[in-house]
Chain A
Amino acid sequence: GESVGLHLPTLSVQEGDNSIINCAYSNSASDYFIWYKQESGKGPQFIIDIRSNMDKRQGQRVTVLLNKTVKHLSLQIAATQPGDSAVYFCAEILSGSARQLTFGSGTQLTVLP
């Protein structure tokens, strides 16, 4: 079946730099996307979401961009901090479904001092 996937399994950035984590999805019927952060030994933590009728959404230090033409979304983290080190998952929800989440495999972000 169609699923969400990530371009890179690992990403290392210098503290203070901006981070960009990418995610590709293949189901054009998906209408809602969420980014989760998962620290070691903990459950996924909601970061930001975006609906398919939007191209961009901003939160505190984070921005999600959605490009429906190429079925791609990204998570941008400004001024990356050591506390941002974690695995980041994108997840999608299909329109008209029971609103079930389908997760990608995750990207490990490591912030270097």
Chain B
Amino acid sequence: NAGVTQTPKFQVLKTGQSMTLQCAQDMNHEYMSWYRQDPGMGLRLIHYSVGAGITDQGEVPNGYNVSRSTTEDFPLRLLSAAPSQTSVYFCASRPIAGGTDTQYFGPGTRLTVL
């Protein structure tokens, strides 16, 4: 299994531009989530999904949209990028059944908004 994959690894945007961060997992996990990590801080939850067609907001959802059309993919959209969205973005997944709450993380996307 490739696990959780994210593309791109790096991205530079200008203020007001839009883009989509891609996340995919091949472990058939129902739960997927997006976090952002700012320098010297822990991860903060942006949005999450418990299955295809179901999404919900996390701690810091403003400025981001998500959709979950398949179990495998969970893209994160920035409609109008702002400098405050400069951060490292991590996608994670876990199974809902099976008795574990442990999430498995992708390698991250480093985003800079100028």
Residue of A nearest to B99 (CB): A51
Interface string of A1-20 (1 = CB under 8 A from B): 00010000100000000000
Beta-carbon contact of A103 and B102 below 8 Å? no
Residues A106 and B42 in contact in the complex (CB < 8 Å), given A43-B90, A49-B101: yes
Beta-carbon contact of B101 and A103 below 8 Å? no
- Is residue B31 contacting chain A, with contact meaning CB distance below 8 A? yes
Shortest beta-carbon distance from A113 to chain B in Å = 25
Interface size counted on chain B using CB atoms at 8 A: 24
**Tally of A-B Cβ pairs under 8 angstroms:** 55
A64 to B42, CA, bound (A): 19
Residue of A nearest to B4 (CB): A43
- Is residue B74 contacting chain A, with contact meaning CB distance below 8 A? no
Which residues of the other chain, A, contact B100 by a CB distance below 8 angstroms?
A: 49
Beta-carbon contact of B90 and A44 below 8 Å? yes
Beta-carbon contact of A43 and B58 below 8 Å? no
Interface string of B33-77 (1 = CB under 8 A from A): 100000011111100101000001010000000000000000000
A104 to B31, CA, bound (A): 21
Beta-carbon contact of B50 and A93 below 8 Å? no
Beta-carbon contact of B48 and A100 below 8 Å? yes
A56 to B102, CA, bound (A): 17
Which A55-113 residues have a C-beta within 8 angstroms of B? Answer: 89, 91, 93, 98-106
Interface string of B16-41 (1 = CB under 8 A from A): 00000000000000010100000011
Report which A residues bind B (CB closer than 8 A).
Answer: 4, 9, 32, 34, 36, 41-46, 49, 89, 91, 93, 98-106
